Each structure stands twice: as C-alpha cells, then as structure tokens.
Amino acid sequence: MTLRIVCHPDYDAEFPANHRFPMRKYRALGDRLATLGLLSDRSRVTAEPAPHRALMRAHDGAYVDQVLECRVPERIEREIGFPVSERVARRARLATGGTMLAARLALEHGIACNAAGGSHHARRAQGAGFCTFNDVAVAALDLLAERPSRRLLVVDLDVHQGDGTAEILAREERVFTFSLHAEKNYPVRKQSSSLDIGLPDGVGDDAYLQVLCETLQRLGTGYDLVFYNAGVDPHRDDRLGRLALSDDGLKAREHMVISHFVSAGVPVCGVIGGGYSNDVEALAARHAILFEVAAGFAAAPSTCGS
C-alpha cells in the first residue's frame, strides 16, 4: 500500500525569507518528498478547508470568525507571531482540514500523514506560538462527533509542550494527551496534559529514546486512532529547540512510535509539528523522515480498524 500524504500548495503562505517562522519549509518538504518518490499522483491527497462547524467544536466561535474574516485583534496576532491575513487564514483552514482528512485516511489504511499540522499552541479562544487553529484538537473532536465511542490518543513529541491541545481537550475523557518536551522551553505557562514529561536541556538520542520507550509501554495500545505530532525541533541544530537529537535519533523516534501502534493494529495519523532553521532544505529533510518511516509501514499489510 502507498502512504497517503495530504498536502496543498497553499500550506505555504509565502512569508518573507527572513521571517522567524520558516513558512517556506512546506513547499520545500513537498519538493523533498517528490524527490524521494513518496509524493506522487497515487499518494498525494489534496486538503480541503476545515468546515466552519468543525472549527467551532474546538475553538470559540468569536475567535473562529475573527480568523476567517481576518480581523484578529492585534494582541492575539502578537501572540500568534504574525498578522492573520487572508492567506494565513486560508492556510490555517487548509492545514486543519488536512489533518482531518489524514485522520480518516489513517482509519481506512492504517497510517496517513499531513504535510503540515501540529499547531498545538492554538487554544480555544485564541492562537499563539505560530499556531492559528489547533488542527489535532479539531480533528479529534470531529471524529468523536461522528462516533462517540472512539478512544483517541495524542502523542506530541514537539520540543514545546502541547499547551493548546491540553487546554482544549482537558475535559474530554475520550482523548488522552501526552506531551514529551523540553521543560524550560516555550510556553512559560504550561497546561496539564493527561501526561506531561518535561526533559532538561541538552538531552540526546539515547536518554530521549529510553524515556519514550518506557512511556509508550505505559500508554499501551488501547486506542482507535493515534495523532502523532512529529515535531523535529528536538533536533540539536534547531533554532528554537533545547534538546540534542540527531537525524538518526529522529528516525529511531519515528520508527519507535509508529511501530508501537501500527504493529498492534492502531491507526496512526502523522502531522509534522515544529521545526525551525534558516537552512530550509535541511529542515525539510528532517521533516521528511516521518514520511520515509511511515511509508515503510504503509507497505505492510494493515490490520487497523475504525
């Protein structure tokens, strides 16, 4: 089976090259995946904008309308890190719709990835930390609205704590949220996930993977779907990270997470999360590791259900 990859040209809102948020990485990632033979007519699935009703399940209606009408207050735009223009609003809606679609493709095929997503700092009433809409929270609540009996898991391995996801899903007992992050990194004020593990600065491959392995055993496999935020900002060369993973460490991490769940018949929806570097090509190569590893599992027979 071919790995389904959800993408869209408008994931790139075309920020200036010197912007703190490396928006060009989305286009560079698409190019990298095509070069690797992973993005083809057979594997590519085009994202559609998230429906208004789906956004409203996770976010306050007033904030949703502010984004879609491009009238987000300046104080919130400052927390997001950029103005919410028409292109930014479209990108946020497409990336969220992409995760919704990738989740459904994962339920059907066992594994699927969105070539964006992981906007885990967006909270119910506002965006923050380069995140406008919280795509994973929106997708999770959409799946639960369709089938209330589902049990979902969020595995968030971005270097920053998934505070927005934790806040939005705090009272949702059907979703277990797990965040493994650098304790001293953004955000200063953490929210309470179902399980949080904060690591000290400078943790490298061996110690990181040991913690992750032990935690995956604790989490088990009793879920109907796993959302996997595979942020690459724990990399030692990341501009906003404080950990020290190598490329090989990232590859081992992706294999550990995906194999733990897919081998047990649990579908996995991968999103790319954070990654920050002035070397956009190197950054795209790090993000591509998720898709390279996932493609290997997609090629194996799936026993995943919905």
Residue 218 lies in a domain: yes
The four Cα atoms 179, 110, 271, 229 give a dihedral, to 10 degrees, of 10
Residue 303 lies inside a defined structural domain of this protein: no
Nearest Cα to Cα of residue 272 among 142, 135, 71: 135
Residue 304 pLDDT > 80, yes or no?
Answer: no
Percent of the chain with pLDDT over 90: 96
Beta carbons within 10 angstroms of residue 55's beta carbon:
27
* 248 residue type, one letter: D
Q: What is the pLDDT of residue 147?
A: 98
Helix%, strand%, coil% for the chain, nearest 5: 40, 15, 45
Dist CA 306 CA 294 (whole Å) = 19
Q: What is the pLDDT of residue 302?
A: 47
Q: What is the tens place of the pLDDT at every residue in 201-248?
A: 999 999 999 999 999 999 999 999 999 999 999 999 999 999 999 999
The model's pTM is: 0.96
**What count of other Cβ atoms lies within 10 Å of the Cβ of residue 174?**
16
253: CATH: 3.40.800.20
Q: Does a structural domain hold residue 25? A: yes
H/E stretch holding 155 = strand 152-156
Residue 253 lies in a domain: yes
Q: What is the pLDDT of residue 301?
A: 54
CA distance 59 to 40: 34
Domain count, the chain: 1
What Å distances lie between residue 38 and 19, 129, 290, CA to CA?
A: 29, 30, 11
For residue 304, tell me if it sits in a domain: no
Band (138; pLDDT cuts 50, 70, 90): very high
> Residue 231: which domain range?
4-298
User: CB of 259 within 8 A of CB of 224?
Assistant: no
Instruction: Tell me the average pLDDT of the chain.
Output: 96
Residue 165 resides in a domain? yes
Helix ranges, 41-182 (H): 52-58, 61-68, 74-80, 86-109, 135-146, 163-168
Binning pLDDT at 50, 70 and 90, where does residue 1 land? confident
- The H-or-E segment that residue 205 falls in is helix 205-219
| pLDDT 10s digits, 261-300 | 999 999 999 999 999 999 999 999 999 999 999 999 997 7
